Amino acid sequence: MSKMSKKIKDFYKENKKSTLIVYVTLRILVIVCMIGEILRKNWDNVFLCVLTLVLFIIPYIVDRKLKIKLPDTLEIIILLFIFSAEILGEIQNFYGIFSQWDTMLHTLNGFLCAAIGFSLIDILNRDEKIHMKLSPKFVAVVAFCFSMTVGVLWEFFEFSGDRFLNTDMQKDRIVTQISTVELNKEGKNVPVIVKNIDHTIIYSYDEQTNSYTETVIPNGYLDIGLIDTMKDLIVNFIGAVVFSIFGWLYIKNRDEHKFAERFIPVVRNDK
């Protein structure tokens, strides 16, 4: 066992006994998956497995290096989120098998990012050395804005991957109705509504063969990522709003609304 693995295991035994079984189980599953991908010589998926193992170390680094304690509930959710996104979502194609898998993760991401943004301001609010006391409503708004900013930046990342690396992170959708001014024959800024689209035919030119290839899209028209992006931002918005409300209630009465404590990182007092 490497020194880092031993340190992490000791860390969970000392401080996070409730999360040790989750961490070890997920780590074993990732390693098994990685061995299978190596045998298949699928190196892209091997890289995702390695990346997942690295991401699993983040809670340890945050606690030991940044001196920020993550609640057990938050840490377990983070570990499961990483595993669900990388291993189940990408490698096992849960994004394709379960239509709402991506929606669930983006909603959870909005919730978690709001919790992190909330904790950053709450830590400053409670620090006696900093002469700044923000109202509960303002802290909730900051948490919400932090979460939405992270969500937007992620969509920028997805768009860049699709645009420059020819990936399909912004999943395409089949739609049966479009509204566009591009089809206005008079060139006016008046949208033309096309309903009940049965299928779409795409002709692409191949320079090597000097010929055209015909691709038929059944059941409608291909939307290239707009619907997916807006759906992701909307569910991120919902997750951010939900936690911001919890956070606002928590600041107003910390004893009565302790549920939020399970998701709010705090600064460790030990030196």
pLDDT tens digit string along 114-123?
999 998 888 7
Please report whether residue 257 resides in a domain. yes
Please report whether residue 269 resides in a domain. no
> In terms of residue numbers, what domain contains 186?
178-218
- pTM given for the model: 0.85
Q: Which of 79, 72, 136 is nearest to 108 (CA)?
A: 79
**pLDDT score at 124:** 76
Beta strands in the chain (DSSP E): 68-69, 173-175, 178-180, 192-194, 199-206, 211-218, 221-223, 266-267
pLDDT tens digit string along 133-186?
778 899 899 999 999 999 999 999 999 989 998 888 888 889 999 999 999 999
Q: Which of 159, 171, 160 is nearest to 223 (CA)?
A: 171
Please report whether residue 47 resides in a domain. yes
Are the beta carbons of 74 and 115 closer than 8 angstroms?
yes
Q: Which of 113, 52, 114 is nearest to 84 (CA)?
A: 52
C-alpha 160/C-alpha 181 separation (Å) is 26
* Other CB atoms within 10 Å distance of the CB of residue 5: 12
Do residues 91 and 194 both lie within one domain? Answer: no
Do residues 151 and 114 both lie within one domain? Answer: yes
